[in-house]
Amino acid sequence: MPNSSLPTDFIPISVSTLIPSQIMDADLYRADESARRLVLYRGSDYPLTIEDLQRLRERGVSRLFIESDRRDDYQQYLRKMVFESDSESSLPVSARTEALGAVVRDILQNAFAGGDANETIQSAHELGTLTANILSEDTFAASDLSRVLSHDYATFTHSANVAFYAGVLAKHLGYSKEDIQQITTGGLIHDLGKLEIDDKILSKPARLDEREFREIKRHPTLGFIQVAERSDVTCGQLMMVYQHHERLDGGGYPVGVTANEIHPWAKICTVVDVFEALTSHRPYRTPMAKARAIELMQRDLGTAFDPEIFACWEEITRNCWHN
C-alpha cells in the first residue's frame, strides 16, 4: 500500500506493467528518497524507454504513481494489453500477467458492486477465457502467480485469487485448456451467493456469532439457486458454487455429501479457497504465512481435502513461495 504520508489524490501503478511500445496518456510520478512526497518522473508526452525501465528496476523501484483522476486511462491501457495481446505478442508474459490481475479485479469489483448475478457471470466467462489463455502458455510459470494476486479483504478480490489459484492447480493436474478456462470461470463465481448476504456480516471486524455464521453458510445454496438453470454454466462450475464448502468426510455444508459425491472441480476449489482465506487479510486477523497455511491444512488431509489434489497444490506452493 502507498505510504500514508503520500498525497491521497494519487494511485500507485506497477512498473512491470509499463511497456515502451504502449502509450498511456498520464504523467508518471515517483516517490522521493524520503518516500514522503511525489515528484514528476515522466510527462505523458515523454515516452518511456527500455533503458528507463531497466534503471528503475536496478534502483528497486517497483511502483510509480499517477493522478487518481487518470485511473480510467490506466485501466484502458491495461485492458489493451490484456485484450489485444496473445501468446504471439511481443509483450512479456510477466507484464501481461500483472495487467490481467488488475483488469480482472477491476471488472469483477464493478460486477459485484452492482449486485447483478447475470453481469457477474457474463464478466466471469470473458475473464476466465483471458486467464486460461495466459495460464496455458508454455512461458507462464506458477511463480508468476504473485503478479496477479491482491490481498485486501473483499469478496471480489477473494474470488479473483481463488480463480487464479484454481486455474494454476488445474493446469498442474493435467486438465485441458478448455477445462482450465471453465474451472477458472467457476472460481470467479464460486462465491456468487454472497451477493445476497448482508455486507455488515461479510466485513464484520470480529469473528461471527452463531446466527451470522448460519447466514454465511447459506451462500453456496443462494449461489446454486442463482445459476442452476443457466445454460451458460456447466455442471462442474455449478458444483464449484454449491460444493466448495463440502468435506470428504461429510462434515461440510450445505448438504454434507461425502467424497465420491463431490465433483472434482469442487475439490480443487475447496483446497484453493481455504488456502486463499488463510493467506489473505481478513477483518479479524492478519494473513498467515503460506508455509504455515499448508501445514495447518495438512491436518485435514483426507477428511476435508482430496489427498492427490492437495499434494499437487503443496508442491506448487513449495516450488513457488518460501514464506
Coil/strand/helix, residue 28: strand
* Angstrom distance (rounded) from CA 25 to CA 176: 39
Q: What burial letters (b/e) apply to 225-246, b meaning 16+ CB within 10 Å?
A: ebbeeeeebbebbbbbbbbbbb
Any catalytic annotation for residue 194? yes
Report CA torsion sign: 136, 141, 143, 149. negative
**Of 80, 171, 177, 194, which residue is the catalytic one?**
194
| 299: exposed, middle or buried (Cβ count in 10 Å: 0-12, 13-18, 19+) | exposed
* Angstrom distance (rounded) from CA 171 to CA 142: 10
Encoded amino acid at 199, one letter: D
Q: Which of 28, 27, 32 is nearest to 5 (CA)?
A: 32
Measure the CA angle with vertex 174, ends 172 and 177; round to 5°.
Answer: 100
Torsion angle defined by CA atoms of residues 219, 225, 248 and 240, in that order, rounded to the nearest 10 degrees: -90
Is the CB of residue 268 less than 8 Å from the CB of residue 183?
yes
Q: Which of 296, 294, 29 is nearest to 165 (CA)?
A: 294
Give the catalytic positions in this structure: 194
